[in-house]
Amino acid sequence: MRKFDDSIPLKLLKAREVTMGFFRPILQEIPMTEQQWRVIRALNEHEELESKQLADLCCILSPSLTGIINRLEQQGYIKRRKSPEDQRRTLISLTDKAKSMFAELSPRLEQRYRDLAAQLTPEDLQTLHTLLTKVCQIKP
């Protein structure tokens, strides 16, 4: 068996923790969890999604997403409506309050992203993106 520190899943987890360390302090000010922010970001980009689409985009299991959606709705950040084409489908979107919060917070988070990226060369950053994209396409 390979050495503990040579484990790809472990290295990916460590890399995630390092990178999220750039963003967590800002999210904690709101306060908002990383998963809640992912939902807000996805809805900001896609405008309106079904729960299953949102779960897939945000890499959140459906049972966990249900709780996240409920909390975001209670906080006034998201709204739900029935699909006019199919009343069994529920569509989720951001409220004006969430859009305003997103617009206010995004520049600070984008600056933290630039701070993170500045610690890598442009070539390394491109290689990292390319390799992570390949890893995400691997089928178990």
Which residues make Cβ contacts (< 8 Å) with residue 91, sequence separation at least 6?
48, 49, 50, 80, 81, 82, 83
Domain of 83?
Answer: 23-98
CB atoms within 10 A of CB 92: 22
CATH of the domain at 34: 1.10.10.10
**98-117 core/surface letters (b: 16 or more CB in 10 A; e: else):** beebbeebeeebeebeeebe
Give domain status of residue 79, yes or no: yes
Which pTM was predicted?
0.88
* Domain annotation covers residue 8: no
Query: pLDDT, tens digit, for every residue of 81-111?
Result: 998 888 888 999 999 999 999 999 999 999 9
Is there a domain that residue 109 lies in? no
Q: What percentage of the chain has pLDDT greater than the value 90?
A: 90
Q: What is the mean pLDDT of the chain?
A: 94
3-state secondary structure at position 70 = helix
Query: Within a domain: residue 66?
Result: yes
Does 139 fall in a domain? no
The total number of structural domains that make up the chain: 1
Residue 133 within any structural domain of the chain: no
* 125 is a domain residue: no
Residue 31 lies in a domain: yes
